[in-house]
Amino acid sequence: MSSNKKTRIIKTIKVDIEKCIGCKSCEIACAAFHATPKYSSINPARSRIRVIRDELRNVFLPIRAGAYTKSECAGRPSYIIDGREYGECNFCNASCPARELFKEPDSGLPLRCDMCEDDPDLEKPMCVQWCKLDALIYEEREEEYDEEVELNEMEVAVESLIDKYGIEKVIDSIARITKKTQK
């Protein structure tokens, strides 16, 4: 029965909050790695990992960009851990309309952590390599899964545009741009 199941490597970055001091080295490494050409520019706003930091409240929390969501949630969660309050959305990794985090600063398109998948593969994602305090811990494990078609980067981007503006507006815009460029 398990003949149509495949195995894949699940990559995890475990976060040890106590070790994070909010230095943002992870943001720099990520922003640099994802620049084109590679390392050619630094802009932490393009980083797919961001550190929530509030030194006077002793809050330091690295969050990696997760999935894009088109609407914010109803009833935002907040947590008190060891007497420290973590604000609304602090633990959430979504690229979401409720906040500025994890959006390309120029286009507003969503950013998502890709674990620095590259050719050849990095030994560890860049943020983990640059975190000398071991607040970010890289782990791999094998897992079985049902095969499904994954969207490529372009499709994710187009899908988010459709979510935001509706499919008709997107088609109209593409048609207009196509006309313009053909002139």
Partner 1 sequence: MRYAETGYYLEIDLSKGTIERVESDPQLTELYLGGLGTNAKIIWDRVPPEIEPFSEDNLIIFSAGLLCGTPAPGANRTMITSISPQTGLLAFSMMGGYFAPELKYAGYDKIIIKGKSPTPVYLWIHNNQVELRDASHLKGKSTYDTITTLKKELDEPYAQGLAIGLAGENRVYFASIETETSSASRLGLGAIMGDKNLKAIMVRGTKDLNIAEPLPFMEESTKILDYINHRLENPLPGIPGILSMIGSPQEMAVHDEKWHTISFAWGNARYRRKDFWNDEIEEQWRETMENARKKLIGCYNCPAKCHGILELPGFPTYVMKCFSKLTYVMAAMADDLEFGIKIASLAQSYGIDGYTAPQVMAFAVELYDDGILTDKELPNFPKDNRERFFYLLDMIVKREGIGDILAKGVYWAAREIGKGAEKYDHNTIKKHEQIPIKLGMLNPIYYLMWSTGEKINITQIEGQIPQAPLKKEDREEFVRDWVHIPTGKEERFKNFILEWGDEGKVFPFWPSIDLVCELVEWQEIMHYIDDCLGLCAGLSSFPLKPAYHIHNLPLFVKYGTGLDFDEDKLWEAATRVRTLIRAINFREGLRREDEKPPEDHWKKRFPEYEAKLLEEYYKYRGWNKDGVPTKETLYKLKLDYVYDELVERGILKESEEETK
Report the interface residues with partner 1, using CB under 8 A.
21-25, 28-29, 32, 35, 37-46, 52, 54-58, 60, 100, 105, 129-130, 132-133
Q: In this complex, which beta carbon is closest to partner 1, that of residue 69 or of residue 129?
A: 129
Tokens of 120: 């050849």
**Residue 54 neighbours by CB under 8 Å, 6+ apart:** none
Q: Which H or E run contains 175?
A: helix 167-182
> What are phi and psi for residue 167, nearest 5 degrees?
-65, -30
CB of 163 to partner 1, least distance (A): 23
Looking at residue 73, the DSSP 8-state letter turns out to be: P
Q: Which H or E run contains 157?
A: helix 153-165
Q: In this complex, which beta carbon is closest to partner 1, that of residue 46 or of residue 64?
A: 46
Q: In this complex, which beta carbon is closest to partner 1, that of residue 22 or of residue 66?
A: 22
Q: In this complex, which beta carbon is closest to partner 1, that of residue 97 or of residue 166?
A: 97
CB of 130 to partner 1, least distance (A): 7
**Residue 70 neighbours by CB under 8 Å, 6+ apart:** 97, 160, 163, 164
CB of 21 to partner 1, least distance (A): 4
CB of 68 to partner 1, least distance (A): 18
Query: Which of 118, 124, 178, 145 is CA-nearest to residue 14?
Result: 124
